[in-house]
Chains A and B, each alone.
Chain A
Amino acid sequence: MYYARVVVGVLFGVLVFAFLDYTLPSRETVRISNTYNRLTAIPPSAAIFWAADSAGTVENAQGQRDVRFIDTIRPNGRVRVYRNEDTGWVWPPYFKYDSANLQAEATNLQSSAQEPIWVSITSYGWRMPWLSTYPNAISINTVSGPEDRPVNWPAMLICGVLLALLVLIWRMWAQFRQRGLSRLRKRT
């Protein structure tokens, strides 16, 4: 029984970490090499890694979507491909509906290896080639060079708020365990 509880606890911890890692914004200093849109088939198995249907995306009869992509190169030479989709008013709560503007910005900041323009892209999500999933770009800011890595304060702020909420809920639960519902107790 003890080992079962440890295994369930560790699995729960990994799940929470993975959820936060996927949902919270992350920042990466990159150079944009190309921007384009391409008809993309979204398999049902990977549908949760793409924008929800109600976010304003349109699919054709074959279930394909016209998705905007941003190709980038990291300072170490490895590539990173972003998708650029609206999240709308649904999960995850980025409330992004300016993907056309973001694509225009990205195209404007496109640069060659000889004359690189380094930018910091804020995004959420994972690149998993075997599932064809891409991180969703949220915003683009120019930075001074490949060494410049802006602090990811939005993720820190959200983690802080979540931690405070967790402490509050823990205190509330402890108070309930200790005293129960005082109104119900008064009647007895």
Chain B
Amino acid sequence: MAALIRLFLVMFVVQLVFYVLLRIYVRSLRIERLENRWDARHPDQAGDTPARRAFIARSMVGFERSLKARLTALVFVLPTLAVLAIVIAVNWR
């Protein structure tokens, strides 16, 4: 039982670290795409201008509720499912 709890604690810590990194990555991809879109639409205001910063801040408002942001929570689900699948495949066949 202690080994099982330790396994889940270790898994949770690894998942948490990976989740944070993945969130930073997905956010960064979205911001990059928004920057490129702004630069294409407003060639006269391209670059890191206040107008572009305001546009990106406005566009990122609903990001936490987007499908992509929510899918990153699968980081906490998939490893547990994989462990369950291995347990069943190894012990009940």
Contacts and interface: CB of A to CB of B under 8 A. Distances in A.
Interface in A135-156: 138-139, 154
Nearest to B48: A185
A182 B31 contact: yes
Nearest to A93: B86
Contact of A93 (B24, B29, B83): B83
B24 A89 contact: no
B27 A95 contact: no
A181 B24 CA distance: 8
Contact of B4 (A89, A176, A181, A186): A89
B28 A95 contact: no
B93 interface: yes
Contacts of B29: 175
B3 A89 contact: yes
A54 B28 contact: no
Given A93-B83, A175-B29, A182-B28, A139 B90 contact: yes
B21 A172 contact: yes
A186 B2 CA distance: 45
A152 to B, nearest CB: 13
B87 A88 contact: no
Contacts of B64: none
Contacts, number: 46
A173 to B, nearest CB: 9
A96 B2 contact: no
Interface in B53-93: 53, 83, 86-87, 89-91, 93
Interface residues of A, number: 22
A172 B83 contact: no
A55 interface: yes
Interface string A59-102: 00000000000000000000000000000111001111110000
A110 B39 CA distance: 73
B86 A89 contact: no
Interface of B: 2-4, 6-7, 21-22, 24-25, 27-29, 31-32, 53, 83, 86-87, 89-91, 93
Interface of A: 54-55, 88-90, 93-98, 138-139, 154, 171-172, 175-176, 179, 181-182, 186
The 6 A-B residue pairs with the shortest CB-CB distance, nearest first, are A89-B3, A172-B25, A89-B7, A98-B91, A95-B87, A89-B4
